[in-house]
Each structure stands twice: as C-alpha cells, then as structure tokens.
Amino acid sequence: MYICNNCWNESLKWTGQCSFCKEWSSLVEFKESKVKWSSSGEKKQLTKMSDVSSQSEEKITTLSQELNNLLGWWITLWSIILLSWEPGIGKSTLGLQLTKLVDKNIIYISWEENENQIISRAKRLNIHSEKISLLCENNLENILKTLESSTSDIVVLDSISVITSNNASGSAGSISQVKEVAEKIVDFWKSTNTTIIIIWHVTKDGNLAGPKTLEHLVDTVLFFEWERYEEVRILRSLKNRFGSTGEIALFKMTEVWLEDIKNPGLEFISSENDDTTPGSSLSITLEWNRALVVEIESLTTYTKFGYPKRSTRGIPSPKLDLILAVLWKYSKVNLDSYDVYVNIVRWIKVDEPGIDMSIGASIISSKLGKPIKRNTIFIGEISLTGRIKNCFWIEKRIKEAVKLGFENIIIPDVDIKLKEKVHLIKIKNIWELVEKIAL
Ligand code: TYD
Ligand code: MG
C-alpha cells in the first residue's frame, strides 16, 4: 500500500501525483505489520451502565475563561487533546502555560528544546510550581516507561512530530513513526487516568488533512488560526467529544504568553478610521455564540485602463461581485468602470450573510465620498432582488450592538421583539441604503 506524505491518503498503487491532495511525488510505500488470521475470540465481561462510576465525568476548570469556553468549560480528565498548527504560533507556550492555568500534576515532555531553554521559558512565564516535572526525551519506549511509574494528571507531549519508536521504521515525523507513536500513546492513555495533550506541527499548506489518523484517535482537535501580522490568536476546536465544535477561544499574544481577550466586541476594528473617513462601515458578526464587531473598508477608484479590478480580503470574492451587481441593477450605483477593493480590517475572515449590508454601505460610502458615523452599525443580508433580508440571530446582534454603545442600528424591515427600548432604523432595499448614506 502507498500513503501520501502530505495528506495521508491511502492508495493501492504508486502514482506520481496524489489523487486526493494533488501533491507531486508524495506517495511512499507503507507496509502494515502482518496480522495472523484467527477465528477464535475471547469472551469478555459486559459492564452494566448503571455500575459505571461517575469518575469519567471529572473535569478540570482552567483559569482561562477562553480555554474553558472552547473546551466546554473544562478539560475532561482522561481525554486526549491534539493541539496543532505551524511552528512559531504558540503551541509550546500554551502547553507550558497550561501548568499555570490548572492545579494538577503535569509532566511536560519536550525534545525540540533542551532543559535550559524550557526552564528559561518557564521562568519568563513565571512558573515555579512543584507540580510540574520536565522530561527531555524523544524515544517513545523511554517515555512510556517513565510515565508508567509517575502519578501525573496531565502529560503534555511537545511534539509528536519528533518522537520515535524502536518498533517503527522511518525518521521522526514520518507516517509510520507518527502512527506507531500515536497508537502506543493511546494504549497507554487507556490504561491510566491521564489527560494527554499532543502537540503536532503542520505546515502552512498542510491543513489538518495530515493528521487525519491522529484526529480519529483523539477526543479533541484544537488548531490555531492566525495572521502573521496580528497579535490575536484564535484557537478553534475542529472536533470535541465533550463540547461543541465551532467554538473559539480568543487570545492576545503578549511579550510573555497568551492572554484571554475578555471583551472581544470592539477588539477587531481599526483605531485610525473616524467619522470623517469615507469607505468604512461597521457590522456585527457571530463567531459561534460570540459577537464580534467587524469593520469593512472599501475603496472605489476610476479604472484607468482595461478591465476594472475587484479585490477582496476577508470575504469571498463572489460576494463582492454579487453586491456590485445588485447595486448596479437596483440603485444605479454603477461601478462598471471603477476598481473596487474590499477588506475586513485586522485580517478577520467572515463568510456569513449578516455583514452584507455593511459591505454594501462601505462601497457606497467610498463611491459617494460620504463618511458613515462610527456609532452606526449595519446588520442584514443583501438579496439578489435588491431587498435587505433578515439574518440569523438578529436580536442577539442588536442586543450586543446596544451593549457596545452603538446608537444607529440599521437593520432590515423585520419585526424585532426586544425587551429593551432600542432605536432601530429599518431599511427595505438597497436604494434606501444608498439614500441613507447620501444624506
Ligand atoms: P512557541 O510557543 O515556541 O510556538 P510553537 O511551539 O508553536 O512553535 O512561540 C513562538 C515564539 O513566540 C516564541 O519565541 C515565544 C514567542 N511568544 C511570545 O513572545 N508571546 C506569546 O504570547 C506567544 C504565544 C509566543
Ligand atoms: Mg514548539
């Protein structure tokens, strides 16, 4: 059998290009260990559900609200968590930082960094708990032997990409090694009451296809989302056996470690734009159940030659084409000979319709040279018929906008049932939106 080094897709014959991820020359031969065929089985004891003690419910609440929120309010003891993404994003910092966030016995296993480096990092993080032990080792058998006689609650393995087993061929990080190491760790985990946090490096384009096999073995898969130019780190759960997936934890990278972003509401807007800046408009989006105010910036300029340019960052480019088409057809704001650039500031990505009206507003504002006041927020979807449509959880968005101090809340013409007295401005269609901005 052959396995793709890039995405771990299995294939029966060798091909120059992986049929799944399209990577070239990535297929390597993989020999599964021969299993003896046997028809006899062993009779096992059944366990009555009612006899199972509630110990499997034990949870650890961390000092980080963000982490608690992401994990379903706690780390479940006896779980395996995979923490993954590119080098340099902060996995080791978070792994070590955990020792400050929970009051448990922790073993931190590392090989990439030597003892002195880890100790100096721990000093920076102000960690001096008696409950933390360090092991610098990369041999799986040595690690497991050491862990057997330890009484730790949590083991952080930093990272699985550098650990090798005597029982697998290939170098550290190769498929055969990672498979063997992961399986043995899971066997160990099943026989103990330990929480294991496995750190795994992926490359920029590797997404999470790489550790698919690992994904199946673990309870929770967490990965960081980031932009190199921003200090914000978003930790997402891709799989969570004990909580909901799609949750996020928001952290800010400081000089030392990752700090919770407690009030993310206004964290992602630009501090440079003000009431006099045309082309900027605010909206409120929901990241799972978290409301974030996002800022859309647009620039429209006359096309000097050739086709007009369309460029987006943070929103899918077909959305821009659609909004421009609707603008032209129903409001006569014609941008046929204008280049149009649309960004969401601070490198946030939003792919939901609730910010459509705000995108439209920022484009109109740039084209007309009419700034929009910063106390204004737009919530609503633009339909193909030029109408402004309702969007999901509109009440929740309005409430959040009020809490954050917005006074002009512009929404579609829908019935809103709110206990609070809120001044809402209702807009039926794109033409009314243009008129509102042109005022
Ligand atoms: P590190 O945790 O080593 O990343 P990874 O294990 O994913 O490769 O972090 C990378 C570098 O960034 C390291 O030099 C420490 C630094 N760093 C900070 O200064 N502040 C922070 O909040 C974080 C997370 C990292
Ligand atoms: Mg690291």
Render pLDDT for 362-383 as a digit per residue (tens, 0 to 9): 999 999 999 999 999 999 999 9
Q: How confident is the model over 292-337, as pLDDT tens digits? A: 899 999 999 999 888 999 999 999 999 999 999 999 999 988 999 9
CB atoms within 10 A of CB 384: 11
Q: How far is the CA of 292 from the centre of ligand 2 (A)?
A: 30
Tokens matching residue 113: 């960094």
Q: How confident is the model over 392-428, as pLDDT tens digits? A: 999 999 999 999 999 999 999 999 888 877 889 999 9
Cα angle 233, 235, 239 (rounded to 5 degrees) comes to 165
Q: How far is the CA of 39 from the centre of ligand 1 (A)?
A: 52
Does 190 share its domain with 97?
Answer: yes
Check: CB of residue 259 under 8 Å from CB of residue 94. Answer: no
Does 171 share its domain with 241?
Answer: yes
Q: What is the DSSP letter of 292?
A: E
Residue 318, pLDDT score: 96
Higher pLDDT pick, 291 / 136? 136
CATH code for position 82: 3.40.50.300
Q: How far is the CA of 379 from the centre of ligand 2 (A)?
A: 41
Q: Which atom of ligand 1 is nearest to the CA of 233?
A: 24
Does 325 share its domain with 252?
Answer: no
Which ligand sits closest to the CA of 233?
1
Check: CB of residue 176 under 8 Å from CB of residue 167. Answer: no
Does 359 share its domain with 434?
Answer: yes
Is the pLDDT at 146 greater than 70, yes or no? yes
Protein residue whose Cα sits closest to atom 1 of ligand 1: 90
Domain final residue, candidates 233, 262, 291: 262
Report the chain's terminal Cα–Cα distance, integer Å: 68
Please report whether residue 39 resides in a domain.
no
**CA separation, residue 254 to residues 125, 139, 226, 235, 433 (Å):** 11, 33, 14, 16, 41
Does 7 share its domain with 84?
Answer: no
Strands 106-110, 132-136: pairing kind: parallel
Q: Which of 63-72, 162-171, 344-353 has the lowest mean pLDDT?
A: 63-72
Residue 252 amino acid letter: K
CATH code for position 362: 3.30.230.10
Protein residue whose Cα sits closest to atom 9 of ligand 1: 90
Does 348 share its domain with 427?
Answer: yes
Please report whether residue 268 resides in a domain.
no
Residues 6 or more apart in contact with residue 61 via CB below 8 angstroms: 68, 73, 74, 102
Residue 228, pLDDT score: 62
* Side-chain-side CA neighbours of residue 240 (13 Å): 24
- Percent of the chain residues topping a pLDDT of 70: 91
**What is the spatial distance between Cα 170 and Cα 136, in angstroms, rounded to a whole number?**
21
Please report whether residue 233 resides in a domain.
yes
Residue 113, pLDDT score: 87
| Residue-number span of the structural domain to which 385 is assigned | 280-438
**What is the spatial distance between Cα 251 and Cα 266, in angstroms, rounded to a whole number?**
14
Q: Phi and psi dihedrals of 36, rounded to 5?
A: -75, 135
Q: Phi and psi dihedrals of 237, rounded to 5?
A: -105, 125
Pocket residues for ligand 1 (CB within 6 Å)?
87-93, 253-258
SS (H, E, C) 121-176: HHHHCCCCCCCEEEEECCEHHHHHHHHHCCCCCEEEEECHHHCECCCCCCCCCCHH
Does 167 share its domain with 307?
Answer: no
Q: How far is the CA of 371 from the centre of ligand 2 (A)?
A: 45
- The count of structural domains within the chain is 3
Residues 6 or more apart in contact with residue 392 via CB below 8 angstroms: 286, 354
Please report whether residue 274 resides in a domain.
no
**What is the spatial distance between Cα 379 and Cα 426, in angstroms, rounded to a whole number?**
10
Q: Which of 186, 140, 142, 184 is nearest to 165 (CA)?
A: 140
Please report whether residue 195 resides in a domain.
yes
Does 226 share its domain with 93?
Answer: yes
Q: Phi and psi dihedrals of 399, rounded to 5?
A: -60, -45
Residue 34: pLDDT band (50, 70, 90) is low
Q: Which atom of ligand 1 is nearest to the CA of 257?
A: 22
Does 9 share its domain with 85?
Answer: no
Q: How far is the CA of 88 from the centre of ligand 1 (A)?
A: 6
Greatest mean pLDDT among 213-227, 247-261, 272-286 lies in 272-286
Residue 208, pLDDT score: 47
Residue 234, pLDDT score: 85
Residue 27, pLDDT score: 81
Tokens matching residue 226: 């980031």
Question: Max CA-CA distance within the chain?
Answer: 83
Does 97 share its domain with 211?
Answer: yes
Q: Which of 203, 217, 251 is nearest to 231 (CA)?
A: 251
Q: Which of 408, 281, 292, 391 is nearest to 342 (CA)?
A: 281
For a pocket test of ligand 1, which of 64, 67, 93, 156 has the largest count of ligand atoms closer than 8 A to its C-beta?
Answer: 93
Q: Which of 244, 242, 249 is nearest to 225 (CA)?
A: 249
Residue whose structure tokens are 């159940």: 289
Q: Which atom of ligand 1 is nearest to the CA of 159?
A: 6
Please report whether residue 51 resides in a domain.
no
**What is the spatial distance between Cα 365 and Cα 282, in angstroms, rounded to a whole number?**
12
Please report whether residue 49 resides in a domain.
no
Residue 167 amino acid letter: N
Domain final residue, candidates 235, 262, 289: 262
Q: How far is the CA of 59 from the centre of ligand 2 (A)?
A: 26
Protein residue whose Cα sits closest to atom 25 of ligand 1: 90
Q: How confident is the model over 177-229, as pLDDT tens digits? A: 888 888 899 888 888 878 899 998 876 555 444 456 677 888 888 888 766 66
Does 225 share its domain with 372?
Answer: no
Domain final residue, candidates 236, 262, 288: 262
> pTM of the full predicted structure?
0.75
Does 303 share its domain with 413?
Answer: yes
Residue 58: pLDDT band (50, 70, 90) is low
Q: Which atom of ligand 1 is nearest to the CA of 89?
A: 7
Strands 10-11, 2-4: pairing kind: antiparallel
Check: CB of residue 192 under 8 Å from CB of residue 152. Answer: no
Residue 32: pLDDT band (50, 70, 90) is low
Which ligand sits closest to the CA of 255?
1
Q: How far is the CA of 312 from the centre of ligand 1 (A)?
A: 30
Please report whether residue 104 resides in a domain.
yes
Rg (CA), the chain: 26
Residue whose structure tokens are 């960094």: 113
Residue whose structure tokens are 């294939």: 11
**CA separation, residue 423 to residues 265, 405, 419 (Å):** 20, 12, 12
Mean pLDDT calculated for residue range 61-66: 84
Rounded to 10 deg, the angle between the 317-331 and 356-368 helix axes is: 60
